[in-house]
Structure 1
Amino acid sequence: MRIIDLSTPIDASVWEPNPIEHRVMSAAEGGAHMAEGMRRNHGLDFDPADLPGGELLSLDTMTLTTHTGTHVDAPSHYGSVAEYGEPRHIDRMPPDWFVRPGVVLDLTGEPVGAVGADRLAREFDRIGHTPAPMEIVLLHTGADRFSGTPKYFTDFTGLDGPATDLLLDLGVRVIGTDAFSLDAPFGHMIKAYQRTGDDRVLWPAHFAGRRREYCQIERLANLGSLPGPTGFTVSCLPVLIAGAGAGWARAVAMIED
């Protein structure tokens, strides 16, 4: 089996709209930390200098959102109320949603904004495949080339409401993108709303999740490395964070040799 990594890293050294704080406790500091904890919590004295090399283990502490790096959005991210009942958090979603045959749709070359259902239908015709129920649909926009820069959050293509509904009508329950969001860029949507007064242009892909239960994978990468539009399995199991609207994922494509 060949495995293609489809994930972007969580990296405190690059630009993010919500900056990451990454603190590293060295292995030597870890020894002192352990000794203090054993003394405080268990009444045991231990000299960390007795450790081989005077070191124990390093420890990383991070402050970040669950929407940093490659992650899966849960239905509860889309709003507190849904037409189908109480929206589920990420730890309540069934694991079998996230290991399924994949379909990649090529949207590279599309302008900043959102594509419609007609564009997806043309892509189905081009690849000779219409997504089947529970297949994971991935949108290859090429936006990951801007990852780590401000342009990643302003220059990409998303889906409009009818395009999202088309996929959900087909039985798709997980939709992924290599862009920052499955919707158009925030500024693009806000300007469209100010110009038209039509609130349907505001986060239509996300808000579709208030009517239909589904999950998104955002901030994927390397979708251009997939061998074809089909013929691979996607694994994007989210981290179980109790009561959270999203969970980080190490998304990969698995291809049988």
Structure 2
Amino acid sequence: MPEYRAHVDFDISFANGGGLTGVGFRLDLPSADLDEAAVARLLVQHLGLALVDEVELHGLRIVEEPHRGSRGIEVAPAGTTSRVVDLSHPIRAGLVTYPGLPEPVITPHLTREDSRARYAPGTEFAMDVITMIGNTGTYLDSPFHRYADGRDLAGLELSSLVGLRAEVFHLEDVRARGIRAETLADRDVRGAAVLLHTGWDRHFGTPAYASGAPYLIREGAQHLIDAGAVLVGIDSLNIDDTESGGERPAHTLLLGAGVHVVEHLTNLAALPPRGARFTAAPPAVEGFGTFPVRAFAEVPA
């Protein structure tokens, strides 16, 4: 279904004095056939304003454009028919996930041809061995990745990995590399998986993926912790800025607070800002901090 947004300038005056002006503001709309009065009501609701006297809109344009999560737009109710959106990069031999880390190697343990001598006629199997670092493809970081006394993969509660309410921030047109707390402050993320859609996954598997990647700044990570997020995912090279030296404030803060991190997501553009359920569960490996996941979202159809 197509989605629509309003592009508009506005002047708002308040009944108790003062005013507010906006230039080039963009607002999600439930449909394309709203009049100015309806758009004005949605604008006031989205901004959470009280004691509004008058709203004047200037240069209103309604365009077909994906929603970004404005308040006041209904989300499909729970229990409706859903579709599943795959958010993981496939793993293959030789895949470069993070430049400088070893690539996965896949070798046969038992070929189909050799298995025929072990089983009944017409029965054959293939058994293969994969050698890879945990940081391969789309993977989850547990607290043990950063802290020796943190929970390892086997210690994670499944309830913190499966069917999480997803709050998706579509940030592919944000100009700065660092994602700020202010950019994430308009949502209730308590108990949610916060998914940061930067669009950087378009470079995955190419040299361009390694430099200039978006990331979450220290204050953004602390905001998400304080706001009660349980998982933070990003479709970029790293949740931290890998070009600023060895410090990793987002990893340090998030994993220290028990907030899981999922890196190298993909296809986040297919998710609505709200209403999806996110799952990213690794195998329960003891003494291990990171491992690939089959990350996916259930989206109301």
TM-score (norm 1): 0.77
CA shift in 2, pair 1:210/1:95, >3 Å: closer
**1:173 correspondence with 2:234:** no
Larger Rg: 2
- Give the Cα–Cα distance (whole angstroms) in 2 for the partners of residues 111 and 27 of structure 1: 52
Please report how far the alpha carbon of residue 112 of structure 1 lies from its aligned counterpart in structure 2 after TM superposition: 7.1
**Counterparts of 1:109-188 in structure 2 under 5 Å?**
109-110=173-174, 113-121=177-185, 124=186, 130-184=187-241, 186=242, 188=243
String of CA shifts for 1:23-50, please: whole Å, max 9, x gaps. Answer: 1343113345xx4xxxxxxxxxxxx6x6
Q: Please show how residues 1-257 of structure 1 align to structure 2 within 5 Å.
A: 1-16=82-97, 17=99, 18-24=102-108, 25-31=110-116, 35=118, 51-52=121-122, 56-80=124-148, 86-99=149-162, 100-110=164-174, 113-121=177-185, 124=186, 130-184=187-241, 186=242, 188-190=243-245, 202-209=247-254, 211-226=256-271, 228-257=272-301
Question: 1:70 offset after TM fit, Å?
Answer: 1.2
Mark the CA change 1:107 to 1:256 in structure 2 (over 3 Å): closer, same or farther. Answer: closer
Q: Whose relative contact order is higher, 1 or 2, with alpha carbons under 8 Å and at least 6 apart?
A: 1
Which structure 2 residue ranges, 5 or more long, are not aligned? 1-81
Instruction: Give aligned pairs, total.
Output: 215
Higher strand share: 2
Identity level (%): 27
State the one-letter code of the partner of 2:233.
G
Question: Please, which runs of 5 or more residues in structure 1 have no aligned partner?
Answer: 36-47, 81-85, 125-129, 194-201
Of residues 203-212 and 242-251 in structure 1, the stretch that sits farther from structure 2 once superposed is 203-212
1:199 corresponds to which residue? none
SS in 1 for 2:252: helix
Per-residue Cα deviation, 1:101-151 (whole angstroms, up to 9, x for no partner): 101112213457422212323xx3xxxxx1332110000011111111232
Q: Secondary structure at the match of 2:244?
A: helix
- The 1:211–1:75 alpha-carbon spacing in structure 2 relative to 1, beyond 3 Å, is closer
Look up the match of 1:41: none
**2:107 and 2:129 in contact (8 A); partners too:** yes
The residue matched to 1:189 in structure 2 has which SS? coil
